[in-house]
Amino acid sequence: MKHSILSVATAISITTMNVNAATNAELEAKLKVLEEQMNELKSELKKNQKTLNTVKAHDAFDNIKWSMDFRNSVDFINYEYDNYGALSGTSKSNDGLLTSRLYLNMKAQPMEKLTFNGQLAMYGIWGGELYAEDPALKGWSGSSKADDTLFRLRQAYFVWSDTLGEDGLPYNFSIGRRQSADGFLANHRENKKDPGSPLAHITNMEVDGVMFKVDVDKYFTEGSYLKLVYGRAHSGGIETLYDSVGGYQPYAQADGDVNENVDYFVLLGSLYNDGQYNLMFENATIFNTKGKNSSTAQPAVDAGTANLAALSLQVDGIGDGINDFLDNTTAFASIATTRYMPDSGHTLLGSPDNENGYSYWIGATFPDMITEKGRFGFEYNHGSKYWTPMTWAEDTAIGSKVAVRGDALEAYWNFNLFNVENLTSQIRYTYLMHDYTPTIRCSGWVKPEEVDIKASDLRFFIQYSY
């Protein structure tokens, strides 16, 4: 009996071993097939990822990236003419100047070292006239009528970035209409984080030119760089193909006082920038600048040469870890000079002699302690009789406060409306005290006369940025 039981147990054991062996073999075979399928799937995924990366890389370069700034403002303006010719003893005001400004920003990078930047701009007055000769046509009707409508190009330039020499010295080369408004220091009052390229103390207008920039911090001081800019501010005496007076002379150029080109050369850069202290400089020379002919008293383009220079310092954080408030305070100061040098037989700023002007500008911004990222700012400007910078772009609705010949006081509050970063807002008050004829559009033919004009502008704006 025991023998029989042992035989049966042995048979069962052998059978079980055979079954397990068969089962293991099947499992190993299935696992091998599954492993092969996984390897095929991994290979396919790698191919798909490579294709996706190629598409992403293509899309990253082969498109224009758009962004926008849309600002709506209301300005309450007042002028008091205590001494200003026929207007002496009078006042003028506007109880609500409503404006809208739209910037459409373009950026493209067709290859690693080459980028394109552009900006389309619209800046209009609510209910403003579309054409001065026909007040019935309003600005808002321009896109609704079958007629000519202007679309302005504010910026358009490309930048080539590479390195020079064995040391790999970084440089940029650029051609086009440059970003030259809201520059260094002016960005605070304009509620912009990053400033434009030039120093706002002497330059605040868009310019067409060629720029070369080189970083020199390896050989000079920390964060230092240099920029060379050459461009043209005015092309004089150009006749087109359809000139009815001169006949056939497409784009030929005549000679004479009012027919010369106005070119400029600018050297600017950072002398030192360690992240807290940033010392910038700019020197600009304008050739054949605008003035008057002494014998005819008529405006002349080639009346002489103007030279403008500025030195500006910005300090981000007062002291070193004293407290959070001082760490987040920004202070700045700038000094600038202008020198207008008329040619023989011409006058600049109403004078046949070289005339020097100067200006200084101080300010500070700090946390408002009310909103999450809001800031208060205070600024003061002073300019002398012959102070005449390049300020075609108006920095206030009452004219350029940076170009004031007298004193300017300004206070502003920058904050995010509803604590939304895309809705930046500002309340700003500007008060100008003109001691001499206000400088408008760097007009070298206007003689500064003693005046007493007080101008104020209370502004509120909301800006959507995306």
pLDDT in tens, 415-424: 999 999 999 9
First to last CA, the chain: 94
- Flag whether pLDDT at 188 surpasses 60: yes
Pairwise pLDDT comparison (253 vs 307), residue with the higher score: 307
**Dist. CA 430–CA 410, nearest whole Å:** 4
Cβ atoms of 101 and 73 within 8 Å: the answer is: yes
Q: How far apart are CA 177 and CA 158, in angstroms?
A: 9
Burial of 360 (0-12, 13-18, 19+ CB in 10 A): middle
**What pLDDT shows up at residue 70?**
96
List CB contacts of 117: < 8 A, sequence separation 6 or more.
Answer: 105, 106, 107, 155, 156, 157, 158, 159, 179
Q: Supply the mean pLDDT for the chain.
A: 87
Query: How many whole angstroms separate alpha carbon 274 and alpha carbon 107?
Result: 28
Residue-level pLDDT at 149: 59
Least confident range from 157-171, 270-284, 421-435: namely 157-171
Span 99-106, average pLDDT: 94
Highest mean pLDDT pick, 84-93, 133-142, 249-258, 315-324: 84-93
pLDDT digits (tens, 9 = 90+) for 322-367: 898 999 999 999 999 999 999 999 999 999 999 999 999 999 999 9
Structure tokens at 456: 């104020």
Q: DSSP secondary-structure letter at 199?
A: B
Greater pLDDT, 300 or 329: 329
- Residue from 131, 108, 130 nearest 119 by CA: 108
pLDDT reading at 196 higher than 90: no
pLDDT in tens, 13-31: 555 555 555 577 777 777 8
Percent of the chain with pLDDT over 90: 60
Q: Which CATH number fits domain 65-465: 3.30.420.40, 1.20.1090.10, 3.20.20.30, 2.40.160.10?
A: 2.40.160.10
- When pLDDT is cut at 50, 70 and 90, the band that residue 303 belongs to is very high
Amino acid at 115: T
Q: What is the pLDDT of residue 320?
A: 85
DSSP for residue 203:
B
**How is residue 362 written in tokens?**
């101080």
Q: Report the pLDDT value the prediction gives residue 165, as an integer from 0 to 100.
A: 82
- Backbone φ and ψ for 52, nearest 5 degrees, come out as -65, -40
DSSP per residue over 94-115, as a string? EEEEEEEEEEEEEEEEEETTEE
pLDDT above 90: residue 150: no
Place of tokens 């006081």: 409
Q: Are 161 and 113 in contact (CB under 8 A)?
A: yes
Q: What is the pLDDT of residue 417?
A: 95
Query: Which residues in 241-276 are b (16+ Cβ under 10 Å) and which e?
Result: eeeeeeeeeeeeeeeebebbbbbbebebbbbebeee
Please determine, for residue 133, whether its predicted confidence score (pLDDT) is greater than 50.
Answer: yes
pLDDT tens for 211-227 read 999 999 989 999 999 99
> Residue 246 region, left (φ>0) first, then alpha (ψ -120 to 50), else beta?
alpha
Mean pLDDT of 148-160: 84
Looking at residue 197, its pLDDT comes to 83
Q: What pLDDT score does 8 carry?
A: 46
